[in-house]
Structure 1
Amino acid sequence: MTTAEHVEPDIIGMRLAHRVMLRDLRRTAEVAQAISAGRVAATPRRTRALATYLELLAESVHHHHAAEDDILWPVIEKRAGGHIDLTELSDDHSVLDPKLARLREAARALATAPDSEDAAAALALQLAQLRDLLEEHIAEEERDVFPVILRYLSVGDWAEVEAQVRRNGRLSFELPRIADACTPEELATLKKTAGPVIVLMLAIVRRPYRRLERAIWA
């Protein structure tokens, strides 16, 4: 296939996944820091909701990087192995799970003892560290991996990758977060592409997700 004939995969889904991940890490880090500094009340309701949210967020981050390691990286190696070295990105992934485990523990500790200044400070630190790691990691991934995907993977390759990735995602958490991160034009495109079933699911899952958000940020 010549360059002129090559049709690029549409990687909007991966771009949105990164955007959503960073948005959540930044805003949860901000609220944790505000709790630690005493600017936001550490009520039992807020800290329990934050622990629930961070449990789901940690699960989502794990699913994303595991899908890259197990599904996307092998396809890239097959199509463009000589054009990119994924070692550093994989090494970043290897340190994520222990960090996610410590984040979960810190969130549960604060939910158990909302008045603990030490627990609030520990959670704020864990979130700040994870945010900083993933901001750097995602910037490198988008700089180095995205051009390779667009050049060497076919539309069919990418469709198969996305189909496999979606199988284990928690849509009740992912869908409303993605919808919130989209521009109106992106959301319209996603709804058109995904069809009426996804639109209906979004309408169903948005309300409980909004309740969880309000408990943390209201």
Structure 2
Amino acid sequence: MTAQNSPATASDPWEMALIHRLIRRGFEQASAHVLAVGAATRAGAVAAYIGFHLDGLHAHHSSEDELIWPALRERAQLSTALISRMEEQHAGVHDAIETTRRELSVWTANPTTEASRSLAADLATIVDRLAEHLAEEEREVVPLIAAHISQAEWDHLGEVAFSKFTPQQRFTAMGELLEAARPDEAARMLAGLPAPVRVIWRLVGRRQYQRFMNSVRGA
């Protein structure tokens, strides 16, 4: 077995549970927004919300594929079968994402009742495929990340994933993270941000996120 990182370079990937909670919550709410009364009148905003979560899930998984699995293959050799299973699960989720993107385009152009039900079913497929994957990742992979991935590498993963969002989506990501977070998690997340970012969020980002969510909900 490859030696584990020393305690000085081990990481604390506490954000993984929060990110997974955001993902589960986001797709469950996306389905509810599609089926909500009046959704057809705000299809553009609802589609933007769903598109954000599709993009976010892809950003999360593609960043793991690029940075985490190669490192764990090298450093935690006994976990090759587990990592292969994670990659296979990612591929299954990716297929569901692409199917949902196509159905989302159909729904946005013509948000009929039938199209709404079809899109909601595709979103439910993503949730179903994520259920086993996210649970296993939290149970089996997060301890490997803590042992074999340095804090600098873990922080870099977050930066890479976040960089894949558009500037507007970054406000949505911040708002969705805070909505999914417990108070202690929210405080910890905000404390880890550079002061200028906290100021921008407080003065600009929070209001933009709330306006966006009001348009999604029809509030």
Q: Please, what TM-score do these two structures have when normalized by structure 2?
A: 0.84
Q: CA deviation at 1:192?
A: 1.7
State the distance in 2 between where 1:15 and 1:168 align: 20
Change (3 A) 1:51 1:150: same
Instruction: Check whether the contact 1:50–1:107 (CA below 8 A) recurs between aligned residues.
Output: no
State the distance in 2 between where 1:191 and 1:41 align: 35
Structure 2, unmatched stretches of 5+, are none
The corresponding residue for 1:54 is: 50
State the distance in 2 between where 1:94 and 1:125 align: 19
Task: Give the aligned residue type for 1:10.
Answer: D
Change (3 A) 1:165 1:117: closer
The corresponding residue for 2:139 is: 143
Instruction: Check whether the contact 2:104–2:119 (CA below 8 A) recurs between aligned residues.
Output: yes
Q: CA deviation at 1:62?
A: 0.7
Q: Residue deviations 1:77-134, cap 9 Å, x none? A: 22212235211110111233332222122223222223x2211111111111111111
Identity across the alignment (%) = 25
Change (3 A) 1:162 1:111: closer
After superposition, the CA RMSD in angstroms is 2.2
Instruction: Check whether the contact 1:17–1:178 (CA below 8 A) recurs between aligned residues.
Output: yes
SS at match of 1:6: coil
State the distance in 2 between where 1:75 and 1:128 align: 32
Aligned residues: 209
Map 1:1-218 onto structure 2 (within 5 A): 6=7, 8-32=10-34, 34-35=35-36, 40-45=37-42, 47-85=43-81, 86-114=83-111, 116-170=112-166, 171-203=170-202, 204-217=204-217, 218=219
State the distance in 2 between where 1:143 and 1:64 align: 18
Q: Please, what TM-score do these two structures have when normalized by structure 1?
A: 0.85
Structure 1, unmatched stretches of 5+, are none
Moved more, 157-166 or 73-82: 157-166
Instruction: Check whether the contact 2:33–2:46 (CA below 8 A) recurs between aligned residues.
Output: no
